[in-house]
Amino acid sequence: MEIGLFPLGIVLLPTEQVPLHIFEPRYRELIAECLDNGKPFGLVYADDDGLRRTGTLASVVEVVERFDDGRLNIVVEGGERFRLLELTDGRSFHTGTVEPLADSGEAADPEDVTRGIRLFARLVELTGAEVEVPVDELEQPSFSLASRFELAPELKLELLEEESERVRLKRLCEILETVAAAVERQRETAELASRNGHPRPRPA
């Protein structure tokens, strides 16, 4: 199918919600059409290396604010993934033909699901983030967890492109462990600096 595309410097994961400020006339046109017909657009990651071939269908779930000059503040939610087959012409905004991208590998290991939720909870505690730790059964644990925490676009793109939930969740656990360890080191360094570099005295 052919859809409107919105290239951005962010990666949108399935189930993730992100705010967007729409100011360019061509993308105001795209979002207006999506609101009128209730259809999603394709959000694809773009940087200095160009447009990626794996993207996410994005649906507008809230129009936060409309400005007199036509600009919009909206919230979009990630849906199904797609593979960009070919860019097309004829509209003011980018368009392309896409096909759905579904998982083809094994389901997540239950032990990795438990591990992922535990690591996520640990990160929430370390950072003080106001994020709800999931407790219900998760359809795609990797996306459900990764979409609730801020990760670098390159890491999110790696997860988005992976076609095995089992592999993707294991990779996410590795990422969460690395991030948690880095946050703990930062906290220890800050605590040491607050004591003028003197280590905490050990009990006799």
pLDDT tens, position by position, 26-56:
999 999 999 999 999 999 999 998 999 999 9
Q: What is the pTM of this model?
A: 0.86
DSSP H stretches of helix in 38-164: 110-127, 141-146, 153-161
| Res 178: pLDDT | 93
Domain count, the chain: 2
CB 97 within 8 A of CB 88: yes
In the predicted structure, residue 102 carries a pLDDT above the cut 80: yes
Average pLDDT, the chain: 90
**Is 25 inside any structural domain?**
yes
pLDDT in tens, 119-138: 999 988 888 877 777 766 67
pLDDT in tens, 146-196: 998 889 999 999 999 999 999 999 999 999 999 999 888 887 777 777 666
Last residue of a domain, one of 47, 68, 100: 100
Host domain of residue 149: 110-194
Q: Is the dihedral of CA 126, 131, 133, 138 positive or negative?
A: negative
Same domain, 138 and 115: yes
DSSP H stretches of helix in 44-137: 110-127
**How sure is the predictor about 202, in pLDDT bands with cuts at 50, 70 and 90?**
very low
**Is 201 inside any structural domain?**
no
Last residue of a domain, one of 53, 78, 100: 100
